[in-house]
């Protein structure tokens, strides 16, 4: 295991500049250099501010930088928040950002139940204290063959699990998204069985890489990315990263998962990124990094083999896909 002791180096409130705002500022500076006259400049600035989508008006979040993240170029904030999979808000990539624009995520509670001592219903901001947040830069690989690099803000899931004190027979952790078709209009169509559910083996959930994210790019999660709280498991295909979580359950048996229910021959419970095991309808050997032109090779466990391969050493990865 490479990642054992978590760093505690502090950063200041505004060291993480939201990408979109940074770009706007940069654009403003470029323009002001080329523009003579204060009136024109303030006109441009005003226009930029009113043009920002609600996601860019979201609250900034302070977080300690985690030094083990990838140093690959970040995906543009604009791309990460306008090219999404969130079927509760429509099945297109472009739809969720508009269809989730007025999704109310405050107040928000998460029910924790099952085989653990300290179960109960928690306000999301009691579960995840804002002074404990870390920023971690992870690769994000969708089973469809595209990928991104995202600076997530959140905490290790293991911290919450430890607080809940799971009992000896707890072997899995199950997660559930909000089920409310008035608030999530995509649930009016049966493209999946609702609510969206996901699960991890307890050791996977406890792995130091596994996060509950409440933010990205230094600000609260935009609704289309799973506000207010979503799972991030960087060595697995993106669909394991269940969004807008309302329930977490400790169980002794392997929980059902949405994509496995929908197409069991195509999507398994484990869904570890694996370039050597093809999806029945396409190869997983390569991926398109959003923002790049040429496809790149997909890495075993999405490049996190040193941290996670030991959990699967006795398993046939073609069988347990």
What is the binding site for ligand MTE (CB under 6 A)? 84-88, 142, 177, 196, 225-226, 238-239, 241-244
Q: What character string, x for contact with Mo ion (CB under 5 A) and - otherwise, covers 194-233? A: ----------------------------------------
Which region, judged by CB under 5 A, interacts with Mo ion, from 84-92, 110-118, 183-191, 204-212? 84-92
Which region, judged by CB under 5 A, interacts with Mo ion, from 239-247, 259-267, 269-277, 308-316? 239-247
239 in contact with Mo ion (CB under 5 A) = yes
Dist CA 38 CA 35 (whole Å): 8
Residue 243 or 247: which CB sits closer to ligand MTE?
243
Among Mo ion, ligand MTE, none, residue 115 binds (CB under 5-8 Å by kind): none
User: Residue 31: is the preceding peptide bond cis (ω within 30°)?
Assistant: no
N-terminal to C-terminal alpha carbon distance within the chain: 22
- Token match 């998204």: residue? 177
Among ligand MTE, Mo ion, none, residue 196 binds (CB under 5-8 Å by kind): ligand MTE
* Least distance CB 231 / Mo ion (angstroms): 13
* CA 78 to chain CA centroid, nearest Å: 15
* Least distance CB 40 / ligand MTE (angstroms): 37
* Least distance CB 165 / ligand MTE (angstroms): 27
Residue 199 or 241: which CB sits closer to ligand MTE?
241
313, burial (CB in 10 Å: exposed 0-12, middle 13-18, buried 19+): exposed
* Least distance CB 254 / ligand MTE (angstroms): 19
Q: What character string, x for contact with Mo ion (CB under 5 A) and - otherwise, covers 53-72? A: --------------------
- Token match 């493209």: residue? 191
Dist CA 127 CA 261 (whole Å): 30
Dist CA 157 CA 197 (whole Å): 17
Choice from 222, 228, 238, 241 touching Mo ion (CB under 5 A): 238
Among ligand MTE, Mo ion, none, residue 154 binds (CB under 5-8 Å by kind): none
- Token match 């029910």: residue? 111
Residue 102 or 313: which CB sits closer to ligand MTE?
102
Cα dist from 176 to 186, 187, 198, 231, whole Å: 16, 14, 7, 10
Q: Please, which residues have CB within 8 angstroms of residue 288's CB and are 6 or more apart in sequence? A: 145, 146, 147, 295, 296
Residue 64 or 243: which CB sits closer to ligand MTE?
243
- Token match 């073609």: residue? 318
CB 77 within 8 A of CB 148: no
* Least distance CB 134 / ligand MTE (angstroms): 18
Q: Please, which residues have CB within 8 angstroms of residue 299's CB and are 6 or more apart in sequence? A: 139, 273, 275, 305
Which region, judged by CB under 5 A, interacts with Mo ion, from 2-10, 82-90, 208-216, 297-305? 82-90
Q: What character string, x for contact with Mo ion (CB under 5 A) and - otherwise, covers 118-157? A: ------------------------x---------------
Task: Tell me the residue nearest to ligand MTE as measured from the CB.
Answer: 238
Dist CA 158 CA 251 (whole Å): 16
Q: Give the count of alpha carbons within 13 A of 4, CB side only.
A: 2
Q: Which residues bind Mo ion (CB under 5 A)?
A: 85, 142, 238-239
């Amino acid at each position: 295991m490479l990642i054992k002791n978590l760093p505690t180096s502090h950063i200041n409130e505004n060291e993480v500049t939201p990408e979109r705002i940074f770009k706007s500022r940069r654009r403003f500076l470029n323009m002001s250099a080329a523009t003579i006259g204060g009136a024109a400049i303030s006109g441009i600035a005003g226009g930029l501010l009113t043009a920002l989508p609600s996601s860019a008006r979201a609250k900034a979040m302070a977080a300690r930088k985690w030094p083990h993240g990838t140093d690959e170029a970040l995906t543009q904030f604009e791309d990460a928040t306008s090219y999404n999979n969130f079927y509760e808000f429509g099945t297109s990539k472009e739809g969720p950002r508009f269809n989730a624009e007025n999704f109310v995520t405050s107040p928000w509670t998460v029910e924790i139940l099952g085989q653990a001592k300290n179960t109960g219903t928690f306000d999301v901001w009691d579960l995840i204290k804002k002074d404990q947040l870390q920023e971690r830069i992870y690769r994000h690989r969708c089973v469809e063959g595209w990928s991104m690099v995202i600076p997530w803000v959140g905490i290790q899931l293991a911290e919450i699990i430890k607080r809940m004190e799971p009992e000896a027979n707890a072997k899995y952790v199950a997660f559930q998204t909000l089920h409310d078709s008035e608030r999530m209009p995509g649930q009016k169509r049966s493209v999946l069985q609702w609510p969206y559910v996901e699960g991890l083996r307890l050791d996977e959930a406890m792995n130091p890489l596994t996060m509950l994210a409440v933010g990205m790019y230094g600000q609260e999660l935009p609704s289309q990315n799973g506000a207010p709280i979503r799972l991030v498991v960087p060595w697995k295909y993106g669909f394991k990263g269940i969004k807008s979580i309302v329930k977490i359950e400790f169980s002794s048996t392997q929980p059902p998962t949405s994509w496995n229910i929908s197409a069991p021959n195509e999507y398994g419970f484990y869904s570890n990124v694996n370039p050597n095991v093809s999806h029945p309808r396409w190869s997983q050997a390569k991926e398109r990094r959003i923002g790049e032109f040429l496809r790149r090779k997909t890495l075993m466990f999405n490049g996190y083999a040193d941290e996670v391969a030991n959990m699967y050493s006795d398993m046939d990865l073609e069988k347990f896909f």
